[in-house]
């Protein structure tokens, strides 16, 4: 028996029920929040998010890249280099490779007319590049050179075939700026039913505590002004999906809901879909790109919900099965036609 197994033996006879009975209500509530925030057995979460940071070392401050590089260089210089087993003398061994000359067979030799031989012999690289484009030899040039040579009556490629190895230069696309939304301020405005707040956008904010997301969903139950609620890429799981489902059953003003790119399983999606049936104001629902595929049963439920909820005219999900996909497409066409007829009246 290893030392680690011996260490675990002392916990074998611990009575967990007795420990839980001795906890106060406040301690039980704190334990429940801890279990929701960090789930060590949830394989869908990255390893760094399954438990809290238990490092005892105090933080050294913000990252200083220059100081870190300087420290690494100094450490590398102080480490003594290992001696080579065979010292390098610079002596070259072996014979250099010489590619053998290949003789072209007589049947592969091509003889052109003297005028063409003379014209090709005196042609520049740019002219040869245009000739290759005319002969549809696109492998000798880049796409830009090929189409420029075809679409223009003049020689556009002044660099010749040697420019093929140079890639086309594209303008760099800047990264999307972070979401500047203040979570605490947003929660206060939702609770106070601020009439100027019509959209709650928490997209790409991945450090929101689960308790705060649950409070936000709870506050949305009585809000009458918010029309759009978006929780894209917020690491939301099934507890948040259940909170969203409870919110949909009571809210009567929300029109758009987006919970894409999260960790919601088939159980959480099923709870949301069942709650959508009880909501008559929702017109847009997006649930695509979850951590795992929800399954055939969930896709069939999605198609059924779209058929039974004529108010939904926009639905975001990529179906993998042909049956639910066809049913959903037919239901969406019918719902949009009904909406168009209502607007004409």
pLDDT above 50: residue 283: yes
Strand order in the sheet with 256-258: 199-201, 228-230, 256-258, 284-286, 314-316
289 Cβ contact list (under 8 Å, min separation 6): 260, 261
Least confidently predicted of 24-33, 207-216, 217-226: 24-33
| Residue 41 structure tokens | 């057995």
Cα(207)–Cα(213) distance, rounded to whole angstroms?
11
Cα(257)–Cα(236) distance, rounded to whole angstroms?
14
- Residue pLDDT, tens place only, 212-269: 999 999 999 999 999 999 999 999 999 999 999 999 999 999 999 999 999 999 999 9
pLDDT above 50: residue 129: yes
- Residue pLDDT, tens place only, 291-339: 889 999 999 999 999 999 999 999 999 999 999 999 999 999 999 999 9
- What's the mean pLDDT in 155-173? 59
Closest CA relative to residue 129, chosen from 163, 153, 152: 163
Percent pLDDT > 90 in the chain is 45
Per-residue pLDDT at 151: 65
Higher pLDDT, 27 or 44: 27
- The sign of the CA dihedral 132, 136, 139, 145 is positive
Most confident of 56-70, 107-121, 242-256: 242-256
- What's the mean pLDDT in 133-157? 62
What three-state secondary structure class fits 76? helix
On average, the pLDDT of the chain sits at 83
**Do residues 197 and 229 touch, judged by C-beta distance below 8 A?**
no
Q: How many angstroms separate the most distant Cα atoms in the chain?
A: 104
53 Cβ contact list (under 8 Å, min separation 6): none
Per-residue pLDDT at 220: 94
Secondary element (H or E) of residue 230:
strand 228-230
Where does CATH 3.80.10.10 sit in the chain? Answer: 183-296
| Residue 244 structure tokens | 């969203």
pLDDT above 60: residue 165: no
260 Cβ contact list (under 8 Å, min separation 6): 232, 233, 286, 287, 288, 289, 290, 316
- What's the mean pLDDT in 4-18? 77
- What pTM, to 2 d.p., does this model score? 0.56
Per-residue pLDDT at 101: 83
Percent pLDDT > 70 in the chain is 83
pLDDT above 80: residue 45: no
Cα(185)–Cα(283) distance, rounded to whole angstroms?
27
| Residue 7 structure tokens | 């260490």
- What's the mean pLDDT in 88-109? 80
Q: What are phi and psi of 252, to 5 degrees?
A: -125, 20
**Cα distances (angstroms) measured from residue 285 to each of 114, 116, 139, 152, 291:** 72, 67, 46, 49, 18
Write out the CATH class of domain 183-296. alpha beta
Angle between helices 266-276 and 238-250 (to 10 degrees): 0
């Amino acid at each position: 028996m290893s030392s680690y197994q011996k260490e675990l033996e002392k916990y074998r006879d611990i009575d967990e029920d007795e420990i839980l009975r001795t906890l106060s209500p406040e301690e039980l509530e704190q334990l429940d929040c801890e279990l929701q925030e960090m789930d060590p057995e949830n394989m869908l979460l990255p390893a760094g998010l399954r438990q809290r940071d238990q490092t005892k070392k105090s933080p050294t401050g913000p990252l200083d890249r220059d100081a870190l590089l300087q420290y690494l260089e100094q450490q590398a210089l102080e480490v003594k280099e290992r001696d080579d087993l065979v010292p390098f003398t610079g002596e070259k061994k072996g014979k250099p490779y010489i590619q053998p000359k290949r003789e072209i067979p007589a049947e592969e030799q091509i003889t052109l007319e003297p005028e063409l031989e003379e014209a090709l012999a005196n042609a520049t690289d740019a002219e040869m590049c245009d000739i290759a484009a005319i002969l549809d030899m696109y492998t000798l040039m880049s796409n830009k050179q090929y189409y420029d040579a075809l679409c223009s009556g003049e020689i556009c490629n002044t660099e010749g075939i040697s420019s093929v190895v140079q890639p086309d230069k594209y303008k760099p696309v800047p990264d999307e700026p972070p979401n500047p939304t203040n979570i605490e301020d947003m929660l206060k405005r939702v609770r106070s039913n601020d009439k100027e707040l019509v959209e709650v956008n928490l997209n790409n904010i991945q450090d929101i505590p689960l308790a705060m997301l649950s409070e936000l969903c709870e506050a949305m139950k009585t809000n009458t002004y918010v029309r759009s609620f978006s929780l894209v890429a917020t690491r939301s799981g099934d507890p948040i999906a259940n909170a969203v489902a409870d919110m949909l059953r009571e809210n009567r003003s929300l029109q758009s809901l987006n919970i894409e790119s999260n960790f919601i399983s088939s159980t959480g999606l099923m709870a949301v879909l069942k709650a959508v049936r009880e909501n008559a104001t929702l017109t847009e629902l997006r649930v695509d790109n979850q951590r795992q595929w929800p399954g055939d049963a969930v896709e069939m439920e999605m198609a059924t919900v779209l058929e039974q909820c004529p108010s939904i005219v926009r639905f975001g999900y990529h179906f993998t099965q042909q049956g639910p996909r066809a049913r959903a497409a037919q239901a969406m066409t019918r719902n949009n036609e009904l909406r168009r007829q209502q607007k004409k009246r």
